[in-house]
């Protein structure tokens, strides 16, 4: 075989590899966009429900003001604001402060309108937790492939800035789920759910190591 | 929501993953979703309408055991056709690291993908060898679910990334009102064991040793054992007069399993390891039987650190005998455990678990942005 034959073979293999890798990267960036958009939507929904609860007049004025201000700040800090993580964490803390005691949730649940809001809040806080996990998972996978030498040398990622983790406190309040009768049973503290929250803190510790 | 579920193992063979997919499908249909399941199956005539079969699966050695998988171009084509015809909002694959339909579906689907990881006993070396192939497919999964902490840890350690924990469900309706076998549990008390008793990690020898101790001082005490295995092994492990008080049921149907659990005062889970999730513990709690289990992480989680069921030192027959004696002598304590256990089991009811899974679907399929379905410039993927 002439030497140029091998050159062609190497070139073809290389081209195939580059094509496959850039496709993978392309798909990961798409997944990143989608999961980030989902996280954004869930955060906004949580802030909106919080504001609605604050405005409902069903809770005492002090709690209402607390929730309204935290909800407003979270809703205002949209997009890629640098302090969004701080603001969203503050909203989480405010929600926990308001609903960690079962009585507050019961007060709200006593009214039909309040019960609906409570169910919405419960769904929204859980989905924030899920969406953030999925989004950060996509970040991990994307960063892993962007670290490949060939990807860096050939600048396959183009000018897309490297994705960043979204780190907030998103542990939901303990006593939100009064909608289901069985959850009133004191014994059922959702063992797995609280376990999940613990891991979440653990996951947050672990995540930056990937970088 | 149009949901496609992918089961990698043969439908007619009993197994944890198949049971999970079956119950999830029914729960989702109950919640008003449009569900289709694709799975290998031996007997296509007996399948309900929501199931699509890819035909018989082939037995191949994988991951240290011989499992029946469906792979090859024919299966791949059937999966692709199912995906095209189904037009799903979300596709939920189970055990995507298994070389079967789940992996094929992951490979072919361009859209919101959810994956559930069940196993915790993956061989690290098998996974390492397959990793470069799996990685490309696994990267497409937007949301990963683990059924237990152990399964989640396997995932984190061997594949990287993370998963949310959503446990297995129990169908409360099946287990809530069952009758014990006639004459059980009896005045002398009864202990129960369920599982393959020739498998060392299920820990039957630990229970037998403890039962022998207890039987000497409690003349009426009986032991009920259900599950496949060789009865002679049990006979050899016990003196003849103690063996007379052991009843072996062999392999039982689902309904007999529930009745068996109801027929004893204490359900004992003496497993010594390798358990990722104690589904049987939940079933025992659902029928209203007190649970005594070894102190494994998975059991500890299900039993709420010992509140809704007692724990004993793993692999220690003396401690097992001690804790069992305490419970046998104290009907009030058993009653309290049964009440707490029922409540715990209810929180794992399929309706609850399915609702949490639907939330995952809703999170990944939010308006399914076009970006997700976007295709690369160089062909299909």
pLDDT on residue B200: 74
Interface of B with A in 104-123 (CB under 8 A): 112
Across A180-184, B80-84, B128-132, which has the greatest mean pLDDT?
B80-84
**CB atoms closer than 10 angstroms to residue B211:** 28
**8 Å CB contact between B155 and B183:** no
Residue ranges of domains in chain B: 2-169+350-373, 172-347
Q: Which residues pair with B60 in a beta bridge?
A: B67
* pLDDT at site A188: 31
What is the band of B28 on the pLDDT scale with cuts at 50, 70, 90? very high
* Arithmetic mean of pLDDT, B48-70: 81
Between A119 and B126, the more confident residue is A119
Per-residue pLDDT band for A177 (boundaries 50, 70, 90) equals low
Mean residue pLDDT across chain B = 82
pLDDT reported for residue B127: 66
pTM: 0.74
Q: Which residues of A touch B378 (CB under 8 A)?
A: 19, 23
Quote the mean pLDDT of chain A: 78
**CA-based nearest residue in chain A for residue B112:** A31
What's residue B367's pLDDT? 53
Nearest CA among B373, B116, B142 for reference residue A32: B142
Cα–Cα separations (whole angstroms), residue B376 to A12, A24, B90, B134, B175: 19, 9, 20, 19, 49
The label of the residue with tokens 């049990």 reads: B234
Task: Considering only residues B222 and B120, tell me which one the structure prediction assigns the higher pLDDT.
Answer: B222
Compute the distance between CA of residue B124 and CA of residue B56 in angstroms, rounded to an integer.
Answer: 29
Listed residue (B132, B155, B127, B158) closest to B143, CA to CA: B155
Highest averaged pLDDT of the listed ranges A189-198, B90-99, B151-160, B189-198 = B90-99
Closest by Cα among B231, B147, B172 to B197: B231
Q: Which residues on adjacent β-strands are paired with residue B223?
A: B191, B246
* For range B103-111, the mean pLDDT: 89
CB pairs under 8 A between A and B: 116
Domain chopping of chain A, boundaries = 27-210
pLDDT band at B247 (very low <50, low <70, confident <90, very high): confident
CB contact under 8 A, B139 and A27: yes
CATH architecture of B172-347: 3-Layer(aba) Sandwich (3.40)
* % of chain B surpassing 70 pLDDT: 92
Is the per-residue pLDDT at B80 higher than 90? Answer: yes
How many angstroms away from the CA of B341 is the closest CA of chain A? 9
- The reply to whether residue B359 touches residue A127, judged by beta carbons under 8 angstroms, is yes
B34 φ/ψ angles, rounded to the nearest 5 degrees: -95, 110
B151 interfaces chain A, CB cutoff of 8 Å: no
Model confidence pLDDT, tens digit, residues A19-39: 888 888 888 888 898 899 999
CA–CA separation, A191 vs B301, rounded Å?
7
Rounded-to-integer distance, Cα A151 and Cα A28, Å:
13
CB contact under 8 A, A27 and B376: yes
State how far Cα A182 lies from the chain centre: 28
> Chain B interface, mutation test: which of A27, A41, A122, A170, most B Cβ atoms within 10 Å?
A27
| A 86-145 near B (Cβ less than 8 A) | 123, 126-127, 129-131, 133-134, 136-138, 140-141, 144-145
**Chain B residues within 8 A of A130 when measuring between CB atoms:** 143, 164, 359-360, 363
E strand or H helix that includes residue B282: helix B279-287
Closest approach of B371 to chain A, Cα-based (Å): 5
Q: Which one of B111, B134, B139 makes the best mutation probe of the A interface by having the most chain A beta carbons within 10 Å?
A: B139
Q: Out of A28, A131, A185, name the one closest to residue B363 (CB).
A: A131
Residue B374 has pLDDT above 70, yes or no: no
Condensed to tens digits (0 to 9), the pLDDT of residues A78-114 reads 766 778 888 899 999 999 888 877 777 777 778 888 8
CA distances from B337 to B262, B307, B327, B330 (A): 14, 8, 10, 11
Question: Per-residue confidence at B366, pLDDT binned at 50, 70, 90?
Answer: low
Whole-angstrom Cα distance, residue B17 to residue B4?
A: 15
Using a CB–CB cutoff of 8 Å, tell me whether B375 touches chain A.
no
The answer to whether B162 contacts chain A (CB < 8 Å) is: yes
Per-residue confidence band for B135, with pLDDT thresholds at 50, 70 and 90: confident
Task: Name the CATH code of domain B2-169+350-373 (choices 2.60.120.260, 3.40.50.2000, 2.60.120.510, 3.20.19.10).
Answer: 3.40.50.2000
Pull the structure tokens for residue B325: 């004696």
Predicted local distance difference test score (pLDDT) of residue A10: 92
Q: pLDDT tens-digit profile of A158-170?
A: 777 888 888 888 8
Could you report the per-residue pLDDT of B305-347, keeping only the tens digit for each?
888 888 888 888 888 888 888 888 888 888 888 888 888 888 8
Task: Give the model's pLDDT for residue A80.
Answer: 66
Least confident of A172-176, B186-190, B228-232: A172-176
Closest CA in chain A for residue B345: A188
Instruction: Please write the tens of the pLDDT for every residue from A128-148.
Output: 999 999 999 999 888 888 888
pLDDT attached to residue B126? 65
Helix (H) or strand (E) holding B60: strand B58-62
B344 close to A (CB below 8 A): yes
């Amino acid at each position: 075989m002439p030497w140029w034959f091998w050159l062609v073979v190497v070139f073809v293999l290389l081209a195939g590899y580059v094509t496959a890798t850039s496709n993978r990267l392309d798909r990961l960036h798409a997944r990143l966009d989608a999961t980030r958009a989902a996280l954004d939507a869930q955060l906004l929904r949580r802030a909106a429900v919080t504001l609605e609860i604050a405005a409902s007049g069903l809770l005492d004025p002090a709690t209402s003001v607390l929730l309204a201000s935290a909800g407003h700040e979270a809703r205002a800090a949209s997009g890629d604001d640098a302090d969004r993580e701080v603001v969203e964490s503050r909203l989480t803390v405010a929600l926990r402060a308001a609903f960690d005691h079962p009585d507050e949730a019961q007060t709200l649940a006593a009214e039909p309108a309040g019960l609906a809001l409570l169910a919405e809040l419960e769904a929204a806080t859980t989905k924030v937790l899920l969406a953030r996990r999925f989004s950060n998972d996509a970040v991990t996978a994307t960063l892993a492939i962007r670290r490949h030498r060939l990807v860096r040398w050939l600048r396959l990622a183009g000018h897309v800035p490297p994705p960043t983790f979204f780190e907030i406190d998103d542990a939901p309040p303990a006593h939100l789920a009064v909608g289901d009768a069985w959850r009133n049973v004191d014994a059922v503290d959702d063992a797995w759910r609280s376990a999940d929250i613990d891991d979440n803190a653990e996951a947050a510790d672990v995540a930056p190591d990937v970088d | 929501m149009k949901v496609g579920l992918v089961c990698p193992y043969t439908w007619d063979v009993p197994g944890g993953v198949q049971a999970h997919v079956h119950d999830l499908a029914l729960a989702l249909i109950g919640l008003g979703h449009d569900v289709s399941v694709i799975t290998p199956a031996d007997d296509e005539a007996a399948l309900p309408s929501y199931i699509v079969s890819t035909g018989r699966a082939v037995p191949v050695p994988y991951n240290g055991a011989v499992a029946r998988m469906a792979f090859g171009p024919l299966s791949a084509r059937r999966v692709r056709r199912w995906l095209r015809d189904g037009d799903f909002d979300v596709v939920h694959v189970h055990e995507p690291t298994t070389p079967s339909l789940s992996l094929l579906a992951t490979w072919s689907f361009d859209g919101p993908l959810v994956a559930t990881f069940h196993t915790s006993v993956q061989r690290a070396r098998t996974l390492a060898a397959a990793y470069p192939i799996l990685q490309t497919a696994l990267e497409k999964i937007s949301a990963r679910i683990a059924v237990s902490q152990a399964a989640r840890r396997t995932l984190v350690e061997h594949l990287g990334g993370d998963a949310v924990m959503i446990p297995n469900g129990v169908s409360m309706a099946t287990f809530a009102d069952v009758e014990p076998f006639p004459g059980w549990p009896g005045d002398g008390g009864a202990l129960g064991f369920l599982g393959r008793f020739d498998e060392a990690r299920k820990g039957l020898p630990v229970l037998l040793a403890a039962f022998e101790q207890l039987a000497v001082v409690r003349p009426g005490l009986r032991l009920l054992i259900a599950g496949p295995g060789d009865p002679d092994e049990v006979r050899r492990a016990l003196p003849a007069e103690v063996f007379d008080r052991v009843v072996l049921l062999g392999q039982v149907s689902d309904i007999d399993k529930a009745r068996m659990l109801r027929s004893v005062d204490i359900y004992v889970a003496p497993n010594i390891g390798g358990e990722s999730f104690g589904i049987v513990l939940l079933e025992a709690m659902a029928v209203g039987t007190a649970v005594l289990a070894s102190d494994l992480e998975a059991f500890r989680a299900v039993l709420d650190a010992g509140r809704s069921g007692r724990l004993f030192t793993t692999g220690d027959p003396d401690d097992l005998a001690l804790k069992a004696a305490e419970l046998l002598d104290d009907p009030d304590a058993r009653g309290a455990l049964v009440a707490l256990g029922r409540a715990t089991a209810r929180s794992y009811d399929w309706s609850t678990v399915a609702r949490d899974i639907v939330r995952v679907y809703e999170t990944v399929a939010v308006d399914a942005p076009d970006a997700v379905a976007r295709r690369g410039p160089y062909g299909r993927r």
